[in-house]
Amino acid sequence: MRVGIIGAGGIVQYAHLPGYQRIPGVEVVAICDPVQARAQEMATKNGIPNVFADFRDMLALELDAVSVCVPNAMHAEAAIAALQAGCHVLCEKPMAVSAAEGEKMVAAATKSGKILMMGFNNRFRADTKALKKLIDSGMFGEIYFARSGWIRRRGIPGRGSWFTQKAMAGGGALIDIGVHALDLTLYLMGKPKAVTVMGATYAKFGGDPGRGTGGWGQAVAGGVFDVDDLACAMIRFDNGATMMLEASWASHIEREHMFVNLMGTEAGAQMLSNPAQARVFSERLGVVQDTTITANEAPGNTAHFTEIAEFVSCVREGRAPMSSGDDGVQVMRILDAIYKSAQLGASVDV
Ligand SMILES: NC(=O)c1ccc[n+]([C@@H]2O[C@H](COP(=O)([O-])OP(=O)(O)OC[C@H]3O[C@@H](n4cnc5c(N)ncnc54)[C@H](O)[C@@H]3O)[C@@H](O)[C@H]2O)c1
């Protein structure tokens, strides 16, 4: 399986490249990035034979599959070009910067007959898989409420970099890390259809270079910050369920957490990061119980690796991925609605 990678940044180095390299029969044959030195360095270190500045040139190589790992505003263009060139596509989150772009990506995948998989790596966590199995067994009953989020004390991913520019990222903390919590919760709730959203966004740290520094990410002096550093929303679904979502890159809290709380009629669940923990709360014969999930996974089988392995298996077996382009569009519709609601100061239909 001949793979090309579009973008030579952090997530490629951390997840995509090592992931593909671990799977027998998969070869990363090309990488592209307009910052040639970055692509060249990654190619030299990893024995990648072809380096390009423009992904259109790379797509002439007749690749089997492509990872799209560029700033969010370029996902749609790169993914559509790759699909049109006959490649299967694994696209990083968020799918794009709007649902309309996501719909075009799905249409391109349908037309080409190729796979479009979303890089929702949290679905591939061992604790997620364990919890999903329990939920699918029916043990939670009706899940009618969820609270989830990814909140950081200090973690603006490079103030002034593309991450903090609306034109490149489509938004801030919400579209960058809130997207993970949102997708994971929808997935665990059984993908209910969102109907209305009430959202709010803030930028109380990002715009002030003297505040909210630290954590990680490389700041770019004088760079633009015109996105949210905190967002929250209430989402109402057509089955009567609701969820509350929170996302922040910087806020006065104790420490960073990604969390999902699910409340069902028969049981509830709590997934926490930092430290990682998944628990189930229930009641049986009047006895209130807590169960801790011990999710077994072979060492090195991280969520990112498992996601890449799933993509490769889907390509090889001609199977639809479990994090599909359609799932990406549903998430984008909600994100669009949250941003619109925040702007209008009123609830909006999804
Ligand atoms: N799933 C995850 O855990 C996770 C983690 C980090 C980032 N991401 C996502 O991955 C994507 C990339 O993020 P990153 O952290 O690697 O960013 P990054 O800034 O480290 O890297 C992005 C790279 O894309 C390159 N690029 C820009 N335009 C390009 C183009 N037209 N063609 C080819 N390359 C181009 C840049 O020069 C840069 O090297 C983003 O969409 C981000 O949201 C996902």
Query: pLDDT tens across 196-228, in order?
Result: 999 999 999 987 777 877 777 788 888 899 999
Ligand 1 center–CA 304 separation, angstroms: 15
Query: To test ligand 1's pocket by mutation, which of 6, 75, 92, 182 has the most ligand atoms within 8 angstroms of CB?
Result: 92
pLDDT 10s digits, 113-156: 999 999 999 999 999 999 999 999 999 999 999 999 999 999 99
Q: What is the pLDDT of residues 103-125, one digit of tens each?
A: 999 999 999 999 999 999 999 99
Q: How confident is the model at residue 255 (pLDDT cuts 50, 70, 90)?
A: very high
Could you tell me the distance, in angstroms and rounded to a whole number, from the CA of residue 93 to the centre of ligand 1?
A: 10
Atom of ligand 1 nearest to the CA of 121: 1
H helical segments located in 170-232: 173, 179-188
Using CA atoms, how far apart are residues 188 and 190, in angstroms rounded to an integer?
Answer: 5
Residue 47 has pLDDT above 80, yes or no: yes
Positive or negative, the CA dihedral 322, 130, 338, 241 is positive
pLDDT at 209 (0 to 100): 77
208 vs 270, more confident: 270
Confidence bin at 300 (pLDDT 50/70/90): confident
Residue of 69, 95, 176, 304 to mutate, ligand 1, most atoms within 8 A of C-beta? 69
Q: Which residue has the higher pLDDT, 299 or 292?
A: 292
Burial-class residue 345 by CB neighbours within 10 Å (0-12, 13-18, 19+).
Answer: exposed
Residue 298's pLDDT band, with cuts at 50, 70 and 90, is confident
Give backbone dihedrals phi and psi of 338, rounded to 5 degrees, phi first. Answer: -65, -45
